């Protein structure tokens, strides 16, 4: 996880530094505490200037300060991880590897094919000196944050950054849409005295017949949020990026041929056919569960092994169990998604290394007093009711209706139960169940001081609630139980695994039941496809900014490209049966049933 930023001025009278404010710098440093550097690049005729600022969190290999610059004056900022697709040798650094590949690209097609092949989360900024081009963008799911801001017509400034602060005077920041990658021809824009962006969108395959339609719809979508004086164009030869996943399988099973009400119990033949069908269905389910488990396990493996574990090697001695540090933490509600991830992490994290389970609870004492109040209660505190991770809100929401009241209870209880199961699965592992209790005062203070700014430019009540929960959880400051006694603990694990993406793909939210009831499987397919498409703007940019603020890196196993492709290949009927009761309806539940994740 790194903080990257670039400010561009075209024929501006202002000094470029004017656009680079202290608040933003401070936020960027928190994301990349291990190295901070900046670099200014000006065109020889001064028609444009760019300031690049890079802040690095060191996770693997040798520390590679950013921005990188090569002999041809190309410049590169990378906030990403290559988990696959582009070879990174054991002693190599992914930032350097990407930069080297980019510098070898001779055409736009080369650059697009490079980014099409990377597997893993990324956002980047690349200055291609020979063409005076600035390239930037986010990966297919938008797993890394990148914001942009455009100056007014006169100023022709443009800024990109991982995280920013709201400024009263300034213009709005927006998330860079994860719709493709962008290019600016700096020289041409300077000559035209106006900013024009080229967009190269993601597509499933470059031979799709509907290319034209896709281009138009993406273009519309992206340009509707741009200021009027910014032009957005697509390349006339329809260049595009290849999506790293396959499209969603929208097949709907034909209604089963069985006539309801027919008594078949006397017909031995029928019964055995039925049993056989049941058996085959079971076998089929089993196979699917194993396939799912395998692909998810690989995804978790990549995410827990790709990080720096140097300290232990340095001391060379076997540290006592109490001073072993965890390198991997899980945002742990005790719900199915976080359980599966923790159990799979256990398979791959070295056995002598503890795993931190981060479990957050909000201590809102005022709660009982609020109970009697009506829904109309408009005071700000009432919104705290929503303050808990999505999952448990959902569960409660389904049970108790609109006015949610979840403070410490649900996640702490499921969390402890989850811990027990994990301890049973692997008793020799040190499981640090970190109880993070947040008081109302602390919540108010930190939300004001910083969490609001990280959530920005998103601003809904739900963003606020989830954002606060994730911020406190990933900070990792709480208590662990040591022989029955609670002692203070701070998780220093730099990698934080989260289960986001599971419910979006496996129809785990209660809104999916509503959708299914109303519109059937067809409607549910549409809903799931839409939700995965918007997960970048709904969740991921925000979560990356929040977790990155602690100098930690969010990793999302359920959004691994292979996991998504596997799930996309299955028709909805294989993934969720919403005619079953809540909780046991989904494929991931089967995983727990088999008990074979251990």
Ligand X SMILES: *[C@@H]1O[C@H](CO)[C@@H](O)[C@H](O)[C@H]1NC(C)=O
Does residue 36 bind ligand X (CB under 6 A)?
Answer: no
CA-based nearest residue to 576, from 512, 496, 481, 489: 512
Around Cβ 536, how many Cβ atoms within 10 Å? 24
Peptide bond between residue 442 and the one before it cis (omega within 30 degrees of 0): no
Tell how far CA 392 is from the center of its chain.
Answer: 19
Rounded Cα distance between 85 and 67, Å, is 23
Stretch that binds ligand X, among 40-48, 231-239, 521-529, 556-564 (CB under 6 A): 231-239
Rounded Cα distance between 52 and 7, Å, is 7
Helix (H, G, I), strand (E, B) or coil at 428: coil
CB-based contacts of 569: which residues, under 8 Å, 6+ apart?
246, 249
Distances (CA, A) of 393 to 385, 478, 502, 524: 9, 22, 16, 21
Does residue 408 bind ligand X (CB under 6 A)?
Answer: yes
Helices (H), 335-389: 336-348, 367-370
Interface characters, 155-194, with ligand X (x: CB under 6 A):
----------------------------------------
Around Cβ 443, how many Cβ atoms within 10 Å? 20
Minimum distance between the CB of residue 565 and ligand X, rounded to whole angstroms?
Answer: 10
Does residue 569 bind ligand X (CB under 6 A)?
Answer: yes
Name the closest residue to ligand X (Cβ): 61
Q: Are the CB atoms for 467 and 453 separated by under 8 Å?
A: no
Interface characters, 355-394, with ligand X (x: CB under 6 A):
------x---------------------------------
Stretch that binds ligand X, among 10-18, 105-113, 445-453, 524-532 (CB under 6 A): 105-113
Structure tokens at 49: 């200037």
Does residue 61 bind ligand X (CB under 6 A)?
Answer: yes
Does residue 412 bind ligand X (CB under 6 A)?
Answer: yes
Does residue 491 bind ligand X (CB under 6 A)?
Answer: no
* CB of 199 or CB of 343, closer to ligand X: 199
Stretch that binds ligand X, among 56-64, 165-173, 210-218, 260-268 (CB under 6 A): 56-64
* From candidates 15, 26, 63, 461, binder to ligand X by CB under 6 A: 63
Rounded Cα distance between 191 and 501, Å, is 44
Is 26 among the catalytic positions? no
Stretch that binds ligand X, among 92-100, 222-230, 288-296, 342-350 (CB under 6 A): 92-100
* CB of 59 or CB of 331, closer to ligand X: 59
Say how many CA atoms lie within 13 Å of 223 toward its Cβ: 17
Interface characters, 247-286, with ligand X (x: CB under 6 A):
--x-x-----------------------------------
Rounded Cα distance between 575 and 583, Å, is 13
SS (H, E, C) 105-139: CCCHHHHHHHHHHCECCEEEEEEEHHHCEEEEEEC
> What 8-state DSSP symbol labels residue 243?
P
Around Cβ 247, how many Cβ atoms within 10 Å? 13
Minimum distance between the CB of residue 449 and ligand X, rounded to whole angstroms?
Answer: 22
Does residue 93 bind ligand X (CB under 6 A)?
Answer: yes
Does residue 571 bind ligand X (CB under 6 A)?
Answer: yes
Minimum distance between the CB of residue 59 and ligand X, rounded to whole angstroms?
Answer: 3
Helices (H), 428-537: 440-446, 452-455, 461-475, 502-506, 510-533, 535
* From candidates 20, 48, 51, 108, binder to ligand X by CB under 6 A: 108
Minimum distance between the CB of residue 457 and ligand X, rounded to whole angstroms?
Answer: 26
* From candidates 64, 74, 145, 525, binder to ligand X by CB under 6 A: 64
* From candidates 12, 74, 164, 198, binder to ligand X by CB under 6 A: 198
Q: Which residues bind ligand X (CB under 6 A)?
A: 56-61, 63-64, 88, 93-95, 107-109, 198, 235-237, 239, 249, 251, 361, 408, 412, 435, 437, 479, 486, 569, 571
Any idea which residues carry the catalytic annotation? 2
């Amino acid at each position: 996880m790194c903080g990257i930023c670039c400010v561009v001025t075209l024929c501006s009278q202002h000094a470029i530094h004017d656009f680079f404010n202290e608040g933003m710098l401070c936020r960027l440093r928190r994301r990349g505490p291990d190295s901070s550097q900046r670099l200014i690049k000006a065109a020889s005729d001064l028609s444009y200037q760019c300031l690049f600022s890079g802040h690095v969190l060191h996770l693997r290999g040798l520390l590679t300060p950013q921005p990188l610059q090569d002999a041809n004056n190309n410049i590169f900022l990378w906030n990403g991880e290559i988990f696959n697709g582009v070879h990174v040798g054991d002693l190599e650094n992914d930032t350097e590897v990407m930069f080297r590949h980019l510098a070898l690209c001779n055409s736009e097609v080369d650059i697009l094919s490079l980014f099409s092949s990377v597997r893993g989360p990324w956002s980047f900024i690349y200055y291609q000196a020979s063409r005076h081009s600035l390239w930037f963008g986010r990966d297919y799911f938008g797993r890394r944050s990148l914001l942009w801001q455009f100056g007014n017509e006169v100023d022709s400034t443009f800024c990109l950054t991982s995280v920013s602060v709201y400024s009263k005077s300034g213009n709005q920041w927006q998330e860079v849409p994860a719709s493709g990658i962008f290019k600016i021809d700096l020289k041409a824009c300077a000559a035209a005295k106006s900013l024009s962006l080229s967009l190269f969108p993601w597509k499933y395959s470059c031979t799709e017949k509907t290319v034209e339609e896709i281009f138009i719809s993406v273009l519309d979508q992206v340009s509707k949020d741009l200021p009027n004086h910014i032009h957005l164009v697509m390349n006339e030869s329809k260049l595009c990026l290849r999506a790293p996943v396959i499209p969603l399988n929208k097949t709907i099973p034909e209604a089963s041929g069985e006539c309801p009400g027919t008594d078949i119990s006397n017909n031995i033949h029928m019964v055995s056919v039925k049993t056989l069908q049941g058996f085959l269905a079971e076998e089929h389910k089993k196979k699917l569960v194993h396939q799912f488990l395998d692909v998810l396990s690989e995804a978790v493996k990549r995410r827990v092994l790709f990080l720096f574990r140097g300290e232990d090697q340095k001391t060379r001695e076997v540290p006592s169990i109490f001073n072993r540090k965890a390198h991997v933490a899980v945002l742990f509600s005790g719900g199915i998604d976080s359980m599966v991830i923790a159990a799979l992490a256990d398979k791959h994290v070295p056995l002598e290394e503890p795993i931190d389970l981060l479990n957050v609870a909000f201590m809102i004492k005022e709660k009982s007093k609020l109970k009697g109040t009506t829904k109309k209660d408009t005071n700000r505190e009432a919104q705290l009711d929503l303050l808990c991770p999505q999952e448990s809100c959902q569960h409660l929401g389904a049970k108790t209706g609109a006015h949610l009241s979840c403070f410490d209870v649900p996640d702490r209880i499921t969390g402890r139960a989850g811990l027990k199961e994990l301890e049973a699965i692997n008793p020799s592992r040190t499981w640090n169940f970190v109880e993070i209790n947040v008081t109302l005062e602390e919540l108010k203070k930190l939300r004001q001081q910083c969490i609001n700014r990280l959530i920005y430019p998103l601003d809904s009540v739900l963003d606020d609630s989830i954002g606060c929960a994730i911020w406190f959880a990933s900070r990792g400051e709480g208590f662990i139980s040591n022989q029955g006694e609670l002692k203070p603990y701070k998780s220093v694990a730099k990698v934080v695994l989260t289960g986001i993406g599971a419910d979006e793909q496996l129809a785990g939210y209660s809104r999916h039941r509503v959708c299914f009831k109303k519109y059937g499987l067809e409607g549910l397919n549409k809903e799931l496809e839409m939700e995965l498409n918007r997960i970048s703007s709904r969740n991921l940019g925000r979560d990356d900014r929040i977790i990155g603020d602690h100098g930690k890196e969010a990793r999302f196993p359920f959004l691994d490209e292979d996991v998504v492709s596997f799930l996309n290949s299955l028709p909805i009927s294989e993934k969720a049966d919403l005619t079953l009761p809540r909780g046991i309806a989904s494929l991931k539940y089967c995983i727990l049933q088999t008990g074979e994740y251990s």
